[in-house]
């Protein structure tokens, strides 16, 4: 993404609790054998909330509960998250367990239950070890130090190899506004969300309705534009909390600095999306596909998603094989408007197809390029003004190994 706003600054020293009034924690409570597995995020005041959720018809109990809070209450003050168990496909007991997690967290914080979101990630189809969870909720204490933010980011992980967090500062109405983001996601990642949990916090003053609309629009270009393996999970959730403590005037599309905020918001979501794609299970490379010249932006984005999601494209990148035939093939079955005679394809800076015709290129040059940990493929459809970008990763031997032994 090209940053257009001069006062938009990404800072490595900021995190999910850097916006005013937020605290977090992450601990090991026993759902997992050794690693941290219970996390909490708290705002000192009720925050306006927005959320997007999985498109899978099978939805986990905690997701349904959090969706209920977002759409019925419009506010959220705390989120309790566990990893190691998805609490999905667990029937009535699973629903009761999710509500118990919500109730215990609310009681601990002295707030209303309908201000608490619940998220779970991990193995599907196993009942939650509620004695362990209850003890964990009793023991967890949210704090405001960097270590607390890092503990939170670690406690939400499953097969991830790294934590994923980002933050930006901007000026709105002369006030410093901070946006922080954290996510987990490594497998079961497909366009239209992922086996991912993502949380964005901000101290900006913005209504639930405006924030929800912004999140939906931004998700299409970020969280819905990544893929690892073509699977869509039962627990995919993105939640955004805005508590208004920065003291700016309410942000709406009519605010003179609306674009400043939306650019920062998009930057947070894009950063997290790319981190998830790059950390795909067994992945060694991030693949970025940029499509221009599509009939519409929606069509260009769908073509980009199709190319980056192709198993043959992903394995070719893993093998450092400049097999552009796999790229143009994916374009062709994308279901979008395609004219074979107007397509131009570049791998890195090397043109391999021009107006549908193959162009001689150096196999050795491209082989060296494909050894990099980030690979860019550009497709110019040559039929319109639509543009779209999607991110994914290569498909490796390790992906099979990780998922063949996921429950062992």
Q: In 311-322, which positions are buried (b, 16+ CB within 10 angstroms) versus exposed (e)?
A: eebbebbbebeb
Residue 1 lies in a domain: no
Give the separation between CA 169 and CA 176, rounded to whole angstroms. 7
Residue 117 lies in a domain: yes
Q: Are residues 250 and 298 in the same domain?
A: no
262 classed as catalytic:
no
Give the separation between CA 28 and CA 369, rounded to whole angstroms. 42
Give the separation between CA 239 and CA 164, rounded to whole angstroms. 15
Q: Are residues 163 and 58 in the same domain?
A: yes
Give the domain range for residue 367: 286-404
Q: Give the model's confidence band at 383: pLDDT under 50 very low, under 70 low, under 90 confident, else very high.
A: very high
Q: Cα–Cα distances in Å, from 347 out to 221, 294, 328, 359?
A: 22, 18, 12, 12
pLDDT tens digit sequence for 26-50: 999 999 999 999 999 999 999 999 9
Q: Catalytic pick from 54, 90, 195, 201?
A: 195
- Strands 22-27 and 38-53, sheet pairing: antiparallel
Pair 176, 35: CB distance under 8 Å: no
Give the separation between CA 183 and CA 35, rounded to whole angstroms. 17
Question: What is the mean predicted confidence (pLDDT) over 160-170?
Answer: 91
Residue % of the chain over a pLDDT of 90: 77
- The beta-carbon contacts of 258-264 under 8 Å, at least 24 apart in sequence, are 259/5, 260/5, 260/7, 260/8, 260/170, 260/171, 260/172, 261/170, 261/172, 261/177, 261/204, 261/206, 262/214, 262/218, 263/3, 263/4, 263/5, 263/8, 264/5, 264/8, 264/168, 264/170, 264/177, 264/179
Q: What is the mean pLDDT of the chain?
A: 90
Residue 4 lies in a domain: no
Domain boundary among 231, 251, 275: 275
Report helix, strand or coil for 200. strand
Candidates 61, 219, 43, 22; CA nearest to 116 is: 43
Q: Are residues 343 and 263 in the same domain?
A: no
- Cα–chain center distance at 80: 18
Domain boundary among 275, 308, 342: 275
| More confident position, 234 or 233 | 234
Residue 42 lies in a domain: yes
Q: Are residues 65 and 129 in the same domain?
A: yes
Q: Cα–Cα distances in Å, from 327 out to 60, 169, 291, 315?
A: 35, 38, 12, 12
| More confident position, 401 or 177 | 177
- Predicted confidence at residue 71, as pLDDT, reads 96
Residue 337 lies in a domain: yes
- Predicted confidence at residue 9, as pLDDT, reads 74
Residue 37 lies in a domain: yes
Report helix, strand or coil for 9. strand
Q: Cα–Cα distances in Å, from 122 out to 17, 71, 343?
A: 24, 25, 42
Q: Are residues 227 and 366 in the same domain?
A: no
Give the separation between CA 388 and CA 128, rounded to whole angstroms. 40
Q: Are residues 231 and 343 in the same domain?
A: no
Q: Are residues 107 and 54 in the same domain?
A: yes
Give the separation between CA 307 and CA 287, rounded to whole angstroms. 10
- Predicted confidence at residue 392, as pLDDT, reads 84
Q: Are residues 262 and 347 in the same domain?
A: no
Report helix, strand or coil for 334. coil
Domain boundary among 219, 240, 275: 275
Q: Are residues 228 and 111 in the same domain?
A: yes
Q: Give the model's confidence band at 229: pLDDT under 50 very low, under 70 low, under 90 confident, else very high.
A: very low
Residue 45 lies in a domain: yes
The pTM of the full predicted model, rounded to 2 decimals, is 0.81
Give the separation between CA 123 and CA 272, rounded to whole angstroms. 23
| More confident position, 407 or 78 | 78
pLDDT tens digit sequence for 189-202: 343 433 589 999 99
Whether residue 62 is predicted with pLDDT greater than 70 in this model: the reply is yes
- Strands 197-202 and 237-242, sheet pairing: parallel
Whether residue 125 is predicted with pLDDT greater than 80 in this model: the reply is yes
Q: Are residues 231 and 294 in the same domain?
A: no
Pair 81, 142: CB distance under 8 Å: no
Q: How many CB atoms lie within 10 A of CB 4?
A: 9
- Predicted confidence at residue 188, as pLDDT, reads 38
Q: Are residues 325 and 267 in the same domain?
A: no
Structural domain count of the chain: 2
| CATH code for the domain of 223 | 3.60.70.12
| CATH code for the domain of 294 | 3.10.20.340
Residue 331 dihedral angles phi and psi, to the nearest 5°: -55, -45
Q: Are residues 307 and 375 in the same domain?
A: yes
Q: Give the model's confidence band at 185: pLDDT under 50 very low, under 70 low, under 90 confident, else very high.
A: confident
Residue 244 lies in a domain: yes
**Beta bridge pairs of residue 120:** 82
Q: Give the model's confidence band at 245: pLDDT under 50 very low, under 70 low, under 90 confident, else very high.
A: very high
Pair 171, 8: CB distance under 8 Å: no
């Amino acid at each position: 993404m090209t940053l257009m706003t001069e006062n938009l600054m990404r800072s490595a020293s900021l995190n999910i609790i850097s916006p005013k009034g937020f605290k977090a924690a992450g601990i090991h409570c026993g759902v997992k054998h050794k690693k941290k597995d219970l996390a909490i995020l708290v705002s000192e005041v009720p925050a306006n909330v927005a959320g997007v959720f999985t498109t899978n018809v099978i939805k986990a109990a905690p997701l349904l509960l959090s969706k209920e809070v977002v759409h019925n209450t419009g506010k959220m003050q705390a989120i309790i998250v566990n990893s190691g168990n998805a609490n999905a496909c667990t029937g009535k007991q699973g629903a009761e367990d999710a509500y118990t997690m919500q109730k215990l967290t609310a009681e601990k914080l002295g707030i209303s239950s309908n201000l608490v979101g619940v998220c779970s990630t991990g193995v599907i189809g196993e009942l939650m070890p509620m004695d362990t969870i209850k003890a964990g909720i009793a023991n967890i204490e949210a704090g405001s130090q960097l270590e607390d933010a890092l503990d939170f980011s670690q406690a939400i992980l499953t097969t991830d190899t790294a934590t994923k967090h980002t933050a930006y500062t901007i000026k709105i109405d002369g006030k410093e506004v901070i946006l922080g983001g954290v996510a987990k996601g490594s497998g079961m990642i497909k366009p239209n969300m992922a086996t991912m949990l993502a949380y964005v916090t901000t101290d900006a003053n913005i209504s639930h309705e405006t924030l929800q609309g912004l999140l939906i629009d931004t998700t299409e270009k970020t969280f819905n534009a990544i893929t690892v393996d073509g699977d869509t999970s039962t627990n995919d959730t993105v939640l955004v909390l805005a508590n208004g403590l920065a003291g700016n005037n309410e942000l709406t599309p009519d605010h003179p600095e609306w674009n400043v905020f939306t650019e920062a918001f998009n930057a947070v979501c894009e950063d997290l999306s790319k981190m998830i794609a790059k950390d795909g299970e067994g992945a060694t490379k991030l693949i970025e596909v940029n499509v221009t010249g599509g009939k519409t932006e929606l069509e260009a984005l769908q073509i980009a998603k199709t190319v980056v999601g192709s198993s043959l494209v992903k394995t070719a990148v893993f093998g450092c094989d400049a097999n552009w035939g796999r790229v143009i093939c994916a374009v062709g079955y994308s279901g979008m408007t395609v004219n074979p005679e107007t397509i131009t394809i570049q791998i890195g800076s090397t043109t391999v197809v021009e107006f549908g015709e193959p162009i001689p290129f150096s196999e050795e040059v491209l082989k060296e390029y494909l050894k990099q940990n980030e690979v860019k493929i550009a497709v110019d459809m040559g039929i319109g003004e639509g543009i779209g970008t999607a991110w994914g990763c290569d498909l490796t031997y390790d992906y099979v190994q990780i998922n063949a032994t996921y429950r062992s």
